[in-house]
């Protein structure tokens, strides 16, 4: 973790999901664990750190967090396997924080259902910003599923209502196919975050074979042609990886 000046605080740790978000950190390095927890507390989170998988599991069984930050290499086991078991019975988001930086490790992390993957060394400020963004995406997803949302790309206004199944851009009603609706909804739920073609395939079509990447590209092309404009774009291409929805909710 990069050197950052952290003011020491000693707030009472409690299980209160209404007053503040509860975050657990499973990290066996005391300096990283304590530093991250202190930084999260400064940002208004109820943060608690654990040095082993067994302690983390015990805490989750007693009080489920709003988010788990999980190291991979722990003294009593592997964080990947731990998260795989957790995902079978829990729905809270998971962010991996690890020294394992290879592309294959990242892929494993996301395939296990991780919401983000951060490698060491890292900046506490970046970690907090990505946690803020994660909670914001979750809130957007809840709002979208319960009703309408409005987005702006600096030039146009988009109104999206998942309940009424209505999409309006600059006052014009846009008709999407069922597949296009799924893709656009998924991109909106991950607003501002790059999602891979494989993730879109898995979440929207229930298959993820690489040879079907062209299906995603085709749907995105059709969506773009319907919603416009070409500049600035609503859906940005991240070359070699996937797509990102750029609209700002308001």
- pLDDT reported for residue 10: 34
Instruction: Judge whether residue 2 has pLDDT over 70.
Output: no
Q: Tens digits of per-residue pLDDT, 44-53?
A: 999 999 999 9
- pLDDT reported for residue 206: 57
Distance CA 41, CA 47 (A): 6
Q: Tens digits of per-residue pLDDT, 93-152?
A: 899 998 888 878 888 887 787 888 888 888 888 888 889 878 877 777 666 666 678 899
- pLDDT reported for residue 213: 66
Q: Which residue is associated with the tokens 């909710």?
A: 249
In the chain, the domains with their CATH numbers are 22-137 (3.40.50.2300), 147-249 (1.10.10.10)
Mean predicted confidence (pLDDT) in 208-212: 51
* CA 13 from centre of chain: 25
Instruction: Judge whether residue 219 has pLDDT over 50.
Output: yes
Bridge partners (DSSP) of residue 195 are 243
- pLDDT reported for residue 145: 63
The residues near 233 (Cβ < 8 Å, ≥ 6 apart) are: 153, 224, 246
Residue 64 DSSP class: -
| Residue pair 160/188 in contact by the 8 Å Cβ criterion | yes
| pLDDT classification of 24: cutoffs 50, 70, 90 | very high
Q: What is the average pLDDT value for the chain, to the nearest integer?
A: 83
Distance set, CA 25 to CA 68, 79, 109 (Å): 6, 12, 16
Distance CA 54, CA 230 (A): 52
The residues near 5 (Cβ < 8 Å, ≥ 6 apart) are: none
The residues near 18 (Cβ < 8 Å, ≥ 6 apart) are: none
- pLDDT reported for residue 25: 97
- pLDDT reported for residue 144: 62
Distance CA 143, CA 148 (A): 7
Least confident of 25-29, 69-73, 86-90, 199-203: 199-203
Which carries the bigger pLDDT value, residue 16 or residue 190?
190
Q: Tens digits of per-residue pLDDT, 30-45?
A: 999 999 999 999 999 9
Distance CA 169, CA 158 (A): 4
| pLDDT classification of 1: cutoffs 50, 70, 90 | very low
Distance CA 55, CA 60 (A): 9
0.75 exceeded by the pTM? no
Distance CA 112, CA 150 (A): 31
């Amino acid at each position: 973790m990069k050197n950052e000046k952290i003011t020491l605080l000693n707030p009472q740790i409690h299980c209160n999901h209404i007053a503040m978000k509860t975050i657990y950190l499973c990290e066996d390095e005391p300096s990283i664990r304590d530093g991250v927890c202190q930084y999260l507390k400064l940002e208004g989170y109820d943060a608690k750190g654990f040095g082993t998988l067994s302690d983390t599991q015990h805490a989750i069984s007693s009080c489920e967090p709003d988010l788990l930050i999980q190291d991979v290499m722990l003294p009593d086991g592997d964080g990947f396997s731990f998260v795989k078991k957790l995902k079978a019975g829990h729905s809270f988001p998971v962010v991996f924080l690890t020294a394992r930086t290879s592309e294959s490790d990242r892929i494993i992390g996301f395939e296990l259902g991780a919401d983000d993957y951060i490698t060491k060394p890292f900046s506490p400020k970046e970690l907090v910003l990505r946690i803020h963004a994660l909670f914001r995406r979750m809130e957007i997803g809840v709002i979208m599923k319960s009703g309408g949302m409005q987005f702006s790309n600096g030039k146009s206004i988009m109104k999206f209502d998942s309940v009424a199944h209505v999409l309006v851009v600059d006052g014009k009603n846009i008709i999407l196919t069922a597949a296009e609706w799924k893709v656009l909804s998924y991109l909106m739920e991950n607003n501002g975050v790059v999602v891979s073609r494989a993730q879109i395939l898995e979440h929207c079509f229930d298959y993820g074979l690489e040879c079907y990447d062209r299906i995603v590209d085709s749907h995105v092309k059709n969506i773009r042609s319907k919603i416009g404009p070409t500049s600035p774009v609503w859906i940005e291409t991240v070359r070699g990886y996937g797509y990102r929805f750029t609209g700002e909710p308001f």
